[in-house]
Chain A
Amino acid sequence: MSSISGGGMLLGFSWLASLKPTEVMGAATGAKDWVELTGFIKILPDNQIKILSPNPEFGQNVMTSLPMLIAEELEVDWKKITIEMGDYDTPRFKSQFTGGSQSIRSAWGPLRKAGATAKYMLLQAAANQWNVPVAELTASNGAVIHKASNRSITYGQLADAASKLPVPTSLVLKKSTELSLVGKSQKNVEGTKIVSGKSLFTMDYQVEGMLIAMAIHPPAFGMQLKSFDATEAKKMPGIKDVFDIEVYKKGYERAGFDTRTFNHLIVVVGNSTWEVINARKKVVAQWEPIVETKEMVTNFGRRKEETIIPAGLESSDKHMQKMLELQGQKARVLRKDGDPEAAFASAKKIIEKTYSAPFLPHNTMEPISCFAHITDEKAFFVAPIQIPDMMKQNIVANLDVPADKIEMKLARMGGGFGRRAYGHYIIEAGLISKKMKAPVKLIYTREDDMTNGVYRPAYIVTYKAALDANNNITAIHIKGGGIPEHAVHENRFPAGAFENYLAEGWELPSNITIGAFRAPRSNFIASAEQSFLDELAQAIGKDPIDFRIDLLKKAKANPVGKNNEYDAARYMGVLELVKEKSKWSATPKGTHRGVAAYFCHNSYAAHVVDVTMKSGQPVIDKVVSVLDCGIVVNPDAAKNMVEGAVIDGIGNCLFGGLKFDKGVVTQQNLNQYRMIRMKEAPKKIDVHFVQNGIDPTGLGEPPFPPIFAALANALYKATGKRFYQQPFINELNKRTS
């Protein structure tokens, strides 16, 4: 229960000013008289209340946690309201961005304000009706109460009048100690639909007269379509047409998320999936090598960059040779503190280790798909897309559709992990629908999905430490590169903790397409950095947790350099808590233990992994995870996210790695590409959150990067070997064979 005059902070804001104060949903929705308050809340006279969730859902559970923020301030009974996924309508919602662990962080203010705004308008409407001061009223469980006269009235009865009131220009939000819904676990609002197999995903979407389409792309990176013969394919049963499409028009200036692998595709369209699969095999295509091209890319509408797409057929073994070669050459200085050269020149001992990791496919369980129906009236899509608004200019430019004719349902996504930030498939489906003048669902097979990917880049990094005669670390040098980007975060820990510090990076262009993958760059650099720190601690005879804490104490008391990104106190906090929760100093007999921590996406994470060895293979008995992401909105769902990140990370560092042979992806389906399965998953994962009342930050990504090194460090204890090259399974298998 809360009232307008209650505690909390007073906020001035302007974002609501652009919202239409009211909009009565009429015949358009086929619904009854829903009254809309702010862009997020709909109320019926009988007090049915609906909250729209703005951000695309791909498993991070924002469809539950974001509406919780609104409901918290609105003062409604969570059990009695319904939650609906909002359509693509970014002007209404202001932000519909699923990525970068930003959902909760960026919604924390705006969505609570949306709830509070509606509550204020409802309170004001009641005050007007009863002719009492608004300060005498309280809101609770979807009703306004006037205690003095013992009267109460439902939101449903007030909504219409409230919707006609001016939007308040300042609001008081609850203090963190007043939160009653936030911080209490609520079940996934789509749980029942998920467990009963209801149509939720784009792949499930069907309408009368819908056609199925599949594309054929070049068999290798560095190749393009030369010509094709579809005579036989067109004769196959159920086939409507076979044709080619240019995904992006010539000269189209790509934005940051307009990455696509192959621009010229053959498309097979038919009545059913199986018929299209069979006909696709009958298409005879000729391919030719690409020539080097340069494309202009506008990153997030800001930085314009020329991107080189080199010609040639690339192979993983050559990539590795080239990366090692480039590690020995001059690189760009990213940051330099003190005089690292002098420190290395006078070092008594130098410890130098090189780490590498391969390309990774996202392998979302739902392969890429998109539904499109382009007519003269509108361009309608059902799309699994993380940032729909980023697709607007692409749709307008490449489908020749005016922006105001775009309608998009944001289907629940069968996983994203960054892959569905790149919506080229929306254009592909749209082009096919336009050509067929029919509703079309484009489906990628698993092979299409794995071989036409936007992969995590391949990386390498060398960490070097200078030690003096007293085993003091006098300098750190980090040099990293990758295809086609390096993963060095020069301003993150351990930067700030060493007087002499040098970070360098280089890039190697490639025609293999890359993109965001759960905690981009961090997912590799944390694995290397945290393994190196472990080795360093051992070299100077310190406990690995104490070693990190000592460095952080230094960085906190007397930080070197100005641009350090992390908060050393919060970083220490997760290490101290994981030490306590894992009973670090009391490792069970026969258990091998590793620790790692990391800061990224505004949050702090630490893990302790317990491993025992059985027949030369590691069994992960337990993982203790500690997160500092500020206030936790939906604790059990947050735990689920951390457990998932732990398992996903263990899977990727043990088994992950996509290989290329002359441009061809060598593992094309899940029977050739190893993903973690239940028997390899940890037996137990204990998740703890630091309780500090700080405004919430991200959670989808932060627990992912440090698990790699926590496992590597535990495996070192178990095997006596350090793990420098991912996937670790190669080294483990060497030991047993």
Chain B
Amino acid sequence: MAKLNLKVNHKTYTVDVDPATPLLWVLRDHLHLVGTKFGCAVGACGACTVHMNGMAMKSCQLPVSAAATQEITTIEGLSENGDHPVQKAWLDIDVAQCGYCQTGQIMAAAALLKQKPNPTDADIDNFMSGNICRCGTYTRIREAIHSAANLSKK
């Protein structure tokens, strides 16, 4: 066990956990930030995607010790009122079916738009292919990312 300071969504938390604990479980079990989802725990599905210093990161692959002192953003901190352009686009296109993977998809999409404000279909397909949606909402996700890119320009 080790005491660690975490910066999540601009708040500082102190947790006393095994330093090898994946950030995913610290977020969910200790900080009760359950918007970051558990899907596979092997970095294959992207449901647990968060931002570390603005970059998309699979929190199931990140030991909490490596996340300490870094700027972590989860879906709960992406925007104050759920009105980040990506979230707005997601609502506008009504992307979700079951919704379980969507917070991970949104975090990945927001990170993509930070790097590439005007992504092509190919950019989107490449960047987003780390996130699985079993319901098959991929065409809507693609459309929502383009829409968010346009929203961000306004």
Contacts and interface: CB of A to CB of B under 8 A. Distances in A.
Interface of A: 58-61, 185, 187-188, 190-192, 194-201, 203-204, 206, 212, 237, 272-275, 278, 363-367, 412-417, 443, 445-446, 636-637, 640-641, 643-648, 651, 669-671, 675-679, 681-685
A720 B132 CA distance: 31
B75 A641 contact: no
Contacts of A364: 98, 100, 134
B97 A200 contact: no
Contacts of B125: 678-679
Interface of B: 1, 17-18, 21-22, 25, 28-30, 32-45, 47, 74-76, 79, 82, 87, 90-91, 94-103, 106, 121, 124-126, 128-142
A60 B139 CA distance: 17
Contacts of B106: 195
B34 A197 contact: yes
What 4 pairs between A and B have smallest CB-CB spacing?
A197-B35, A647-B136, A414-B100, A59-B98
A607 to B, nearest CB: 14
B98 A412 contact: yes
Nearest to A57: B98
Given A194-B103, A670-B39, 7 more contacts: A194-B99, A197-B103, A366-B100, A643-B139, A669-B40, A671-B42, A677-B129
Nearest to A700: B97
A273 B91 contact: no
B35 A641 contact: no
Interface of B is mostly: loop
A272 B41 CA distance: 15
Nearest to A272: B29
Contact of B87 (A196, A199, A446, A646): A196
B136 A646 contact: yes
Nearest to A200: B99
Contacts of A195: 75, 82, 87, 90-91, 96, 102-103, 106
A684 B87 contact: no
Contacts, number: 189
B98 A671 contact: no
Contacts of B96: 59, 188, 190-191, 194-195
Contact of B44 (A58, A237, A366, A671): A671
Nearest to A642: B136
B29 A643 contact: no
Nearest to A670: B44
Contacts of A443: 38
Most buried by A among B21, B136, B139: B136
Contacts of B134: 363-365, 415, 417, 648, 675
Contact of A670 (B42, B74, B76, B102): B42
A509 to B, nearest CB: 29
A643 B35 contact: no
B87 A206 contact: no
